[in-house]
């Protein structure tokens, strides 16, 4: 598509957008009584308007049934998570039995590492991307130490080549092949939080399996953002938060995936709890842990009904939108338009003030552009906020902007470009003159 940097063009794209009505399903934050152009869904998604309704429904269940709410009412809490499993599965390309909503992301990562990081002899290493989100770094470091190993020896980090901002798939695969039968686990983020790079998950998973390693993924920035096929790719395990692109609220419930090929593997360790016990015998309170079949067998504590209700509210919107494929098509166009608009700013001011470090190929990115501001980046970012554009700042000089297809429009993107142009001229060009 040949983009144009004018309001009428952006309006025409919005008019043709079959998903435009979903924008009205969300609440936008305000600054000085004016709604933000919200481009921070990669950090926290907007609140669905239906969220209060679903929360109040569960509060009414609590008021009307108290403890009997686990088994009585239209949505018994004992089985509520099963409704979410049916809605979660299409988001990550899984069978419903392979997913489960529970806990928070890093808690789930630890629980899954208990099962799937099994260092033995010379096979003890973990390969991950350099500069992974700190939670992943800390979790993996502590797991390695828990096994009595030295993180400096056990953790292999793969960094971009000199002069590049992103990782080449061939470099990741080459490192996997180099370490070979010393690798116990390959663990990457599906999309890198800082650069916005979407890794070639199928190729990396295959390479890990070729050397006999387990392969897992942190999908915090990928789930609800890009199309995933965890089952078909043969991914061993994955986990994700739901409060970014899936709009489940701050600290919202996490999800896990365990491939069905592992369901009958009795050699897997797990930190067991009552709620993961076989469902039809759970209330017999017998000794000896027998896990429920599927991902549900990794549960520990009873269902977190209120966080699940918020997740359910958003997943219902995804279902109405057709899940990921229609959203992905719009996302590709929205992100490409933002890329065009940022480059238009550079062109008009005559200097390369903004460098997009997110890959230019749509197949290598989701709904995020990470933009290095060459000069006075924090002033530019603060100026965006003051002008009702809310993105995300990452030290030392990166502005992350994430146009989410459920609630962002092409007119949003055009307006951001206009504001960015004005700020750049005022803060960079006029000051230098």
pLDDT of residue 428: 86
CATH class of 54-321: alpha beta
399 and 371 Cβ atoms separated by less than 8 Å:
yes
226 and 197 Cβ atoms separated by less than 8 Å:
no
207 and 172 Cβ atoms separated by less than 8 Å:
yes
**For residue 288, what are the contacts with CB-CB under 8 A and spacing of at least 6?**
none
Q: Which helix (H) or strand (E) holds 99?
A: strand 99-101
pLDDT of residue 340: 98
The one-character DSSP state at 130 is: T
85 and 96 Cβ atoms separated by less than 8 Å:
yes
- Structure-token pair, residue 415: 């307006």
Nearest 5°: phi and psi at 212?
85, 15
- Which among 214, 195, 175, 64 has a CA at the least distance from the CA of 131? 195
**For residue 376, what are the contacts with CB-CB under 8 A and spacing of at least 6?**
427, 428, 431
Distance CA 213, CA 80 (A): 35
209 three-state secondary structure: helix
What is the CATH architecture assignment of 7-35+324-432? Alpha-Beta Complex (3.90)
Burial state string for 383-422 with b = 16 or more CB within 10 A and e = fewer than 16: bbeebbbbbbbeeebbbbbbbbbbbbbbebbbbbbbbbbe
Q: Which residues of the chain have pLDDT under 70?
A: 432-433
Domain locations in the chain as residue ranges: 7-35+324-432, 54-321
192 and 165 Cβ atoms separated by less than 8 Å:
no
Angle ∠(425,430,432) on CA atoms, nearest 5 = 115
pLDDT of residue 1: 80
284 three-state secondary structure: helix
pLDDT tens readout for residues 201-215: 999 999 999 999 999
Provide the phi-psi class of 24: left if phi over 0, else alpha when psi is between -120 and 50, else beta.
Answer: alpha
**For residue 19, what are the contacts with CB-CB under 8 A and spacing of at least 6?**
321, 326, 327, 330, 405, 406
**For residue 407, what are the contacts with CB-CB under 8 A and spacing of at least 6?**
22, 23, 25, 26, 28, 38, 41, 46
- Structure-token pair, residue 343: 């480059």
Distance CA 350, CA 139 (A): 45
């Amino acid at each position: 598509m040949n983009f144009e940097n004018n309001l009428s063009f952006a309006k025409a794209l919005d008019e043709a957008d079959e998903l435009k009505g979903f924008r009205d399903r969300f609440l936008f934050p305000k600054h000085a009584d004016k709604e933000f152009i919200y481009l921070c869904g990669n950090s926290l998604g907007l609140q669905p308007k239906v969220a209060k309704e679903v929360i109040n429904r569960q509060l009414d269940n609590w008021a009307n049934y108290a403890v009997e709410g686990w088994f009585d009412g239209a949505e018994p809490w004992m089985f509520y998570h099963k409704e979410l499993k049916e809605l979660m599965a299409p988001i990550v390309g899984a069978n419903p039995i392979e997913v489960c909503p529970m806990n928070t992301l890093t808690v789930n990562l630890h629980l899954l590492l208990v099962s799937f990081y099994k260092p033995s002899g010379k096979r003890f290493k973990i390969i991950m991307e350099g500069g992974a989100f700190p939670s992943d770094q800390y979790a993996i470091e502590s797991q390695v130490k828990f096994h009595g190993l030295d993180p400096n020896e056990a953790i292999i980090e793969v960094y971009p080549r000199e002069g590049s901002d992103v990782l080449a798939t061939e470099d990741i695969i080459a490192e996997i092949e180099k370490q070979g039968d010393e690798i116990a686990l390959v663990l990457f983020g599906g999309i890198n939080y800082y650069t916005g790079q979407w890794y070639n998950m199928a190729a990396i998973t295959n390479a890990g399996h070729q050397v006999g390693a387990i392969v897992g993924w942190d999908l915090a920035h990928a789930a609800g953002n890009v199309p995933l096929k965890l089952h078909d790719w043969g991914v061993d395990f994955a986990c994700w938060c739901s409060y970014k692109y899936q709009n489940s609220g701050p600290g919202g419930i996490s999800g896990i995936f365990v491939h069905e090929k592992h369901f009958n593997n009795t050699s897997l360790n797990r930190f067991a709890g009552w709620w993961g016990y076989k469902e039809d015998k759970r209330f017999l309170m017998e000794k000896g842990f027998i896990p429920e079949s599927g991902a549900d067998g990794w549960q520990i504590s009873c269902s977190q009904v209120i966080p699940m209700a918020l997740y359910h509210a958003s997943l219902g919107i995804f279902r109405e939108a057709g899940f990921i494929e229609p959203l992905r098509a719009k996302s590709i166009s929205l992100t490409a338009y933002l890329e065009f608009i940022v480059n238009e700013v550079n062109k008009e001011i005559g200097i390369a003030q903004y460098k997009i470090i997110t890959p230019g190929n749509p197949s290598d990115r989701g709904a995020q552009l990470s933009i290095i501001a060459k000069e006075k980046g924090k002033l530019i970012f603060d100026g965006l906020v003051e002008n009702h554009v809310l993105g995300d700042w990452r030290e030392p000089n990166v502005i992350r902007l994430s146009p989410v297809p459920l609630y962002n429009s092409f007119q949003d993107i055009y307006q951001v470009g206009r504001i960015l142009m004005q700020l750049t001229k005022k803060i960079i060009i006029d000051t230098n003159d």
